[in-house]
Structure 1
Amino acid sequence: MNLQLQRLYDIARKDERRIIGLMSGTSLDGLDVALCRISGSGPATQVSVERFMTLPYNDSLKDDIRTVFAKLEIEFEQLCLLNPYIGRIHGQMVLDCLRIWDIDPGEIDIVASHGQTVYHAPKIQHKRDKFPNATLQIGDGDHVAAITGIITLSDFRQKHVAHGGEGAPLAVYGDYFMFSKKGENRLLLNMGGIANFTYLPADGDASNVFTTDTGPGNTLLDAYARKLLNKAYDENGMLASLGQVNADLLLALKTNSFFDAPFPKTTGPEVFNIRYVEYAQARSNSTDLSAADLMATLVQFSADTIVDAIRRVIRKSEMYRIYMSGGGMHNPVLTQAIRTQLPECTFSQTDELGISGDAKEAVLFAVLANETLAGGATSFGERQGVPSVTMGKVSFPQ
């Protein structure tokens, strides 16, 4: 047997694995690195986060990614060059973290790398009959493995697509394994660039669990923070807190077939971007809004579409606890707009469940890698969009 295959086999047989999960989202703010100890699999998965760090992307890297990010037309050579380049950067970032943490790379079993999403194209969005759902993450796993010297699992979303899913959100798997609790209806609300939630019913039945995107989370807020404030984001929602919601623009923003589509569904900045807002402003005669009023309206847009989606799931006769994660949980204007409309729900952060809300997405990919190595026995039923599959492609260092 090839020695690297033997190493993978031995890791899969271990009672406990040390796995580094990597996540970089559509906000392009940096790479989340979570070092996890994981034992068990499926609903018996046990996770402890030993270390967590976010390494920011510098402006040059952000600019490079934005040349291909969520665009219909790009320079193809740039995409080709960025694929290995980002993989090597992510690999070096892993080594940087391990050096800071004083941990030898030889002590790590697996790196689980999400990569950097540059385009997301579910069939509901691209509307080309002969083509399936599609999504593209770059930052090649072979380069991560070669730089770190650690076996790497990557490109998780393609198996999901291959079995009829949209490639996102993948939180349904990790959330169910880590956070389900018999007797409590839970919604795990992640507010990244795009907002999504996982529904975890109190009966614990995996065939009823699902994750869906709801629409914009921070993607429009951050885009306009860059445009209006020359900042990466509107810190603490300060600009939004000074404005008034424009009802006409809000209605125009909500006029999109995505919001009426059945669950589960996905979307991205390919749809919800500055052009989308400008078109909605033109249709609603609101092009002269102040910066504060525009930001306030965009916050309300994110909040309303999150709430509308959640209301399609919850029953008035039952209690629900919503656990928040992602960058949006730090925006008090956004979170208050959501809480106000869901007074019957109790709100917390995933920190109360033992996983930092900032680290949760990186931890998710460590859990998905663990399931590929040691699990794969959990059935999520035969539903469209929630295939019962294990995910991730293996890259050996040598």
Structure 2
Amino acid sequence: MDALLQLRRRSPRVVVGLMSGTSLDGVDAALARLSGSGTDLTVDSDGFVHVPYPKALRTLLRRNAAPESSSVRDLARLDVRLAGVYAEAVDSVLADAGRSREALDLVGSHGQTVQHLPDPANCAGEEVRATLQIGEPSTLATELGVPVVGNFRPSDMALGGQGAPLVPYFDHVTFTDPEEDRGLLNLGGIANLTVLPAGGTPDDVRAFDTGPANMVIDALAERLFDAPYDPDGQHADAGTPDHDFLADLLEGDFYRREPPKSTGRADFGADYVDHLLGAAQSRGLSAEDTMATATLLTAASVYQAYAQYVRPDQSIDVLIASGGGTHNDALMRMLRDAFAPIPVRTAADYGVDADAKEALCFAVLAHETVNGVPTNLPSVTGASRRTLLGSISVPGP
């Protein structure tokens, strides 16, 4: 524990944040120097890399993220296998910045979500909320020789929260403006929206998942075009959205639920894509029209969520997007059309790499956990109170 006590006193800290999202495409690693806490936090970004999962690993993860095909043995082995991939990602971002492991103080690892079940359900006679992220933090800490903070969601869920989204704390301390009401939109596998009132406190922050972002688009690209994603939204641009079909999709159960709410593959995974494809084919849509409709679904569901659950109480002056979806030109154009005259910009316009933002978030969350600072936001997750997020794994001497 001496190492943890020394880490508590160290400033600045060199921290790597790791994020592997619901797209199951790989792991993002962001290197940063962090000091201070809360609104006095200083974040100096020193590097970012994306390490794709090998195809065999990606296939195995997808199989085990589906309840009907998952295996306890596979999950146990993937838990260790992913820790090795995460260690490689840490080494890669350190090497890219010209640093060694000896320079590293701490790692924050989100882990790979294979199940997220935030709504209470019966388990052997008791109602429980549950979530499972794999990529064992203790294995990673032992491999790297530095403390690792992982398992960020369960403590919030133990207090009745959704355990998601987690990015709003980072949004609050890095993007809150004294005069401008801002919306922060993350376009990962799932889209989530954070609302930051001008000069607001943590209790003023609102955030929730709005529906799929890249998850459905990527799955359709693989099935329709044998590609991992739609490059620059080219296939969507070549098609015409079916607005009647879109209206039907927007009537889905998740969209009608009021926040706080979070989602994932349980709502928008393989079964959802099967249904969408079957309905598109029955309507005679081409592959390009289907992609255009699915891409518009992301943009329209974000705006619908804003219009229904945010705008009546808090309008925004600007929408700031981040995540892999910012590279989809068709999606970004659809968002700009939906939100006009509200401008839609990217995090890069504010000095934050749009691809690195989520990984940076987990560097910050790990840093604050070591500081003893609660980083869940009950106004976002629905938890009964603030709490520390994450468990700390400390390697032996």
TM range (shorter): over 0.9
Deviates more, 1:380-389 or 1:200-209: 380-389
| Equivalent pair of 1:92/1:147 in contact (CA under 8 Å) | no
User: C-alpha deviations, 1:34-68, integer Å up to 9, x for none?
Assistant: 11111111121111111111111111111121120
Partner residue of 1:6? 2
Partner residue of 2:228? 232
User: C-alpha deviations, 1:197-254, integer Å up to 9, x for none?
Assistant: 1111113122120220000101110001011111110101111111111133212212
Match of 1:356 among 350, 353, 359: 353
Deviates more, 1:284-293 or 1:259-268: 284-293
User: C-alpha deviations, 1:147-175, integer Å up to 9, x for none?
Assistant: 11111111111112112211211011111
Shift in Å, 1:279: 2.9
**Distance in 1 (alpha carbons) for counterparts of 2:232 and 2:266:** 26
Residue identity matched to 1:292: E
Shift in Å, 1:99: 3.2
| Equivalent pair of 2:246/2:293 in contact (CA under 8 Å) | yes
| Equivalent pair of 2:261/2:381 in contact (CA under 8 Å) | no
Alignment map for 1:307-322 (pairs within 5 Å): 307-311=303-307, 312-314=309-311, 319-322=316-319
Counterparts in 2 of 1:98 and 1:239: CA distance versus 1, 3 Å: same
Shift in Å, 1:378: 7.4
Counterparts in 2 of 1:11 and 1:198: CA distance versus 1, 3 Å: same
**Distance in 2 (alpha carbons) for counterparts of 1:111 and 1:200:** 27
Partner residue of 1:300? 296
**Distance in 1 (alpha carbons) for counterparts of 2:148 and 2:315:** 42
Alignment map for 1:149-228 (pairs within 5 Å): 149-228=145-224
Q: Which runs of 5+ in 1 are unaligned?
A: none
**Distance in 1 (alpha carbons) for counterparts of 2:195 and 2:264:** 20
Counterparts in 2 of 1:230 and 1:8: CA distance versus 1, 3 Å: same
Partner residue of 1:390? 388
User: C-alpha deviations, 1:277-336, integer Å up to 9, x for none?
Assistant: 443565687353210111011011111101111223135995511110011111111111
**Distance in 2 (alpha carbons) for counterparts of 1:255 and 1:38:** 43
| Equivalent pair of 2:204/2:379 in contact (CA under 8 Å) | no
**Distance in 1 (alpha carbons) for counterparts of 2:222 and 2:378:** 43
SS in 2 for 1:239: helix
Identity of aligned residues (%): 36
Give yes or no for the alignment of 1:244 onto 2:240: yes
Give the TM-score normalised by structure 1.
0.92
Q: How many residues align?
A: 393
Counterparts in 2 of 1:121 and 1:381: CA distance versus 1, 3 Å: closer
| Equivalent pair of 2:246/2:297 in contact (CA under 8 Å) | yes
Shift in Å, 1:127: 7.9
Counterparts in 2 of 1:186 and 1:289: CA distance versus 1, 3 Å: same
Counterparts in 2 of 1:251 and 1:282: CA distance versus 1, 3 Å: farther
Alignment map for 1:15-30 (pairs within 5 Å): 15-30=11-26
Counterparts in 2 of 1:384 and 1:336: CA distance versus 1, 3 Å: closer
Counterparts in 2 of 1:37 and 1:116: CA distance versus 1, 3 Å: same
**Distance in 2 (alpha carbons) for counterparts of 1:225 and 1:48:** 36
Deviates more, 1:353-362 or 1:256-265: 256-265
| Equivalent pair of 1:19/1:35 in contact (CA under 8 Å) | yes
SS in 2 for 1:314: coil
Match of 1:48 among 35, 44, 57: 44
Match of 2:373 among 372, 376, 380: 376
Partner residue of 1:254? 250
Counterparts in 2 of 1:71 and 1:380: CA distance versus 1, 3 Å: closer
Counterparts in 2 of 1:319 and 1:111: CA distance versus 1, 3 Å: closer
**Distance in 2 (alpha carbons) for counterparts of 1:167 and 1:70:** 20
SS in 1 for 2:268: coil
Counterparts in 2 of 1:78 and 1:202: CA distance versus 1, 3 Å: same
Shift in Å, 1:374: 1.6
**Distance in 1 (alpha carbons) for counterparts of 2:380 and 2:92:** 41
Deviates more, 1:30-39 or 1:85-94: 85-94
Q: Which runs of 5+ in 2 are unaligned?
A: none
Match of 1:367 among 364, 367, 380: 364
Counterparts in 2 of 1:283 and 1:105: CA distance versus 1, 3 Å: closer
**Distance in 2 (alpha carbons) for counterparts of 1:317 and 1:132:** 33
Match of 1:335 among 298, 316, 332: 332
Residue identity matched to 1:133: R
Counterparts in 2 of 1:72 and 1:164: CA distance versus 1, 3 Å: farther
Counterparts in 2 of 1:292 and 1:318: CA distance versus 1, 3 Å: closer
Residue identity matched to 1:98: L
| Equivalent pair of 2:14/2:105 in contact (CA under 8 Å) | yes
Shift in Å, 1:194: 0.5
Partner residue of 1:139? 135
Shift in Å, 1:351: 1.5
**Distance in 2 (alpha carbons) for counterparts of 1:257 and 1:223:** 21
**Distance in 2 (alpha carbons) for counterparts of 1:74 and 1:118:** 9
Residue identity matched to 2:29: V
Partner residue of 1:114? 110
